[in-house]
Structures are given as structure tokens and as C-alpha cells.
């Protein structure tokens, strides 16, 4: 057994010990909510705010989006009609260019974890790029669902400078939220300079597309070395990203940081004695402070005042 106690004190003590040197972290949308970025299912998220009737699409496409908002980010939909993705993502793309959202306290906790020499790999399902605002070396970050802060052609893969892409978004994509008075009244295609197809987009992984090879390298190379796996702000329902938790070595404690016992839905029973799994109930920032009680609060003290609790 690696944990002296299966609670936050036991986890924090193990985290600070010499026995714990290789930590793999899996994060989801919940770690970015405090930055003001809602997840799909929270108030203000895509499930809550999508208005298919305003999107440039065929009636059957709008009906599909009304039934399931994630249709907007399906690869099949994008290859057929790029406007739903671009019109829904327009504020996020341009806000990312302005650096409208900042890394949260949990992101900074991971920065401290890396400074202590304990972060082996951070796998993030988030496309917001907040992880890259930290001092964590980019090679330690696997953005397994891509990033909205980079752009390329979904067809031929040719990259485009992000600032240039954003200018095209401003000029070609209508604002379905009615906030930008300078936006065009109708959307028009943005052609790739290389293949001349209208498939330019942020380098996010669309639903139905394969994850990058770097993710599978984490499963094969880093995850078997993990002495602790921390899971924060994710429902664990998205596969194969959830394999970071499900595929952890049997002797490795898995720490679930979330308001909900999300592990139970995928077979992680934190009440079982079969292995050392711990559910730390709360939001990601609060869990970061609790874990930093292992002796790292000084590093987080100044940041704590600057990162308020969840923004709704």
C-alpha cells in the first residue's frame, strides 16, 4: 500500500514523499471552468446555449444539432458543412487570440508539481490551450484533443498562421451571438491556400477522428511508469482519453478530483479495497489547494488570491 490513508492528507503526504516521483495527470473541462470557460454540459456551455436555427445549415443538419449539440463538432459534419463549427467556435477562436482566458489555480498547481520534478506527463482533453500558459515544458503536455490556438487544413494538413486564420474568421464567419457589429451578415468559405478546399479550422480533434499518436505513446511509455495518477475535471466518459485512468498500473493510486464520483461510472470504485483509488470531492482549484497542503502552499499562496472560485 502506498497511501498512509485514503483521504486528502494521505494523498498529499504520498505526493510529497520520495516514493512518488512520476505523476501522470488527466484533465478535462472542469479545470478550466474557473477561467470562465464553461464545459459542454454546464450552464453557458454548448448543450445549454446552442441555437441551431441561427446556424448556416440545411434543415436536417439543424434538426441533428437540436437532438445532439455535439453534431457541431462531428468530423462528418465538418467535411460536409464547415459553417456550424466555425459559427459556434467563433467567439472561442477570437477570444483565444486575445488571451481572454487565463490559466487557473489548478494549472498553476501542476506547474508547481513539475517544478518539484514529479510531473511525468500531463494529458489534457481541453482545447483551450491554458496549459501552455504555464511554465510546464510543452513536451510534457499531451493535448490529446488538439488546440484551438493553432490552425491547419483538416484535409491536407497544411498549417496556417493562427493570426492569419483569425483574420479570416473575422472577415468570413458571421457572429450568431450578435455581439460583433463588424462581422459579416452571412458566412463564406475559407479556402486552404495549399489544396483550395474550405477545410481550414483550429487543430482540434473532431468527434469521429483519431487522437494523435502522441496520446498512444503516453499509454505505452509514460503511464506504466506512473506512481500516481491524478484525474481532474473530467467525466471520464470520453474514450480513449479515459484510458489514462482505466489503464493505470494496478499498484498505482488513482485520485479523482471532481464534485461527482465520476469514476464509478467507468468501474473505478473508490470505496473498494481492491486498489488505492481516492475520490476528492470538490472543484479542481479547491483540490489543488488541498493537495498543496503537503508543503507546497507557499508556492501557491500568491496565486491563490488571484484565482477565484468557479466562474459561473
Are 255 and 11 in contact, with CB atoms under 8 Å apart?
Answer: yes
58 in helix, strand or coil? coil
User: Tens-digit pLDDT profile for the chain (312 aa)?
Assistant: 789 899 999 999 999 999 999 999 999 999 998 898 866 666 666 666 789 999 999 999 999 999 999 999 999 999 999 999 999 999 999 999 998 999 999 999 999 999 999 999 999 999 999 998 888 999 999 999 999 999 999 999 999 999 999 999 999 999 999 999 999 999 999 999 999 999 999 999 999 999 999 999 999 999 999 999 999 999 999 999 999 999 999 999 999 999 999 999 999 999 898 899 999 999 999 999 999 988 888 887 655 555 444 332
Backbone angles phi, psi at 190, to 5 degrees: -115, 110
Dist. CA 186–CA 130, nearest whole Å: 31
Are 279 and 264 in contact, with CB atoms under 8 Å apart?
Answer: no
Dist. CA 21–CA 149, nearest whole Å: 31
163 in helix, strand or coil? helix
Choose the catalytic residue: 62, 89, 145, 254. 145
Domain ranges of the chain: 8-37+102-145+210-306, 46-99+147-204
Among the listed residues 97, 106, 96, the one whose alpha carbon sits nearest the alpha carbon of residue 128: 96
Q: Catalytic site residue 145?
A: yes
Q: Rounded to two decimals, what is the model's pTM?
A: 0.86
Among the listed residues 93, 89, 107, the one whose alpha carbon sits nearest the alpha carbon of residue 29: 107
Q: Which CATH architecture has domain 8-37+102-145+210-306?
A: 3-Layer(aba) Sandwich (3.40)
For 38, residues 6+ apart whose C-beta sits below 8 A from its C-beta are 29, 44, 45, 48
CATH, domain range 46-99+147-204: 3.30.1600
Amino acid at each position: 500500500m502506498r497511501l498512509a490513508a485514503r483521504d486528502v492528507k494521505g494523498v498529499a503526504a504520498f505526493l510529497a514523499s520520495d516514493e512518488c516521483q512520476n505523476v501522470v495527470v488527466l484533465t478535462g473541462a472542469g479545470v478550466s471552468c474557473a477561467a470562465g470557460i464553461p464545459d459542454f454540459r454546464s450552464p453557458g456551455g454548448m448543450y445549454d446555449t446552442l441555437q441551431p436555427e441561427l446556424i448556416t445549415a440545411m434543415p436536417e443538419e439543424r434538426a441533428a444539432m437540436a437532438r445532439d449539440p455535439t453534431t457541431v463538432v462531428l468530423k462528418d459534419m465538418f467535411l460536409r458543412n464547415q459553417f456550424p463549427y466555425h459559427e459556434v467556435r467563433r467567439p472561442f477562436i477570437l477570444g483565444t487570440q486575445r488571451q481572454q482566458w487565463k490559466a487557473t489555480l489548478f494549472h498553476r498547481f501542476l506547474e508547481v508539481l513539475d517544478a518539484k520534478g514529479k510531473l511525468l506527463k500531463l494529458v489534457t482533453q481541453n482545447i483551450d490551450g491554458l496549459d501552455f500558459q504555464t511554465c510546464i515544458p510543452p513536451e510534457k503536455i499531451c493535448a490529446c484533443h488538439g488546440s484551438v490556438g493553432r490552425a491547419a487544413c483538416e484535409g491536407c494538413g497544411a498549417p496556417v498562421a493562427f493570426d492569419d486564420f483569425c483574420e479570416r474568421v473575422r472577415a468570413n464567419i458571421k457572429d450568431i451571438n450578435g455581439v460583433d457589429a463588424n462581422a459579416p451578415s452571412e458566412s463564406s468559405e475559407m479556402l486552404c491556400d495549399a489544396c483550395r478546399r474550405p477545410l481550414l479550422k483550429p487543430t482540434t480533434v473532431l468527434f469521429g477522428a483519431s487522437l494523435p499518436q502522441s496520446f498512444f505513446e503516453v499509454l505505452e511509455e509514460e503511464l506504466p511508469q506512473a506512481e500516481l495518477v491524478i484525474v481532474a475535471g473530467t467525466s471520464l466518459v470520453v474514450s480513449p482519453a479515459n484510458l489514462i485512468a482505466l489503464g493505470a498500473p494496478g499498484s498505482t493510486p488513482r485520485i479523482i478530483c471532481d464534485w461527482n464520483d465520476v469514476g464509478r461510472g467507468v468501474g473505478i470504485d473508490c470505496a473498494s479495497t481492491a486498489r488505492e483509488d481516492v475520490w476528492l470531492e470538490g472543484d479542481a482549484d479547491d483540490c489543488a489547494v488541498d493537495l498543496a497542503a503537503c508543503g507546497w502552499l507557499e508556492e501557491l499562496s500568491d496565486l491563490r488570491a488571484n484565482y477565484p472560485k468557479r466562474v459561473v
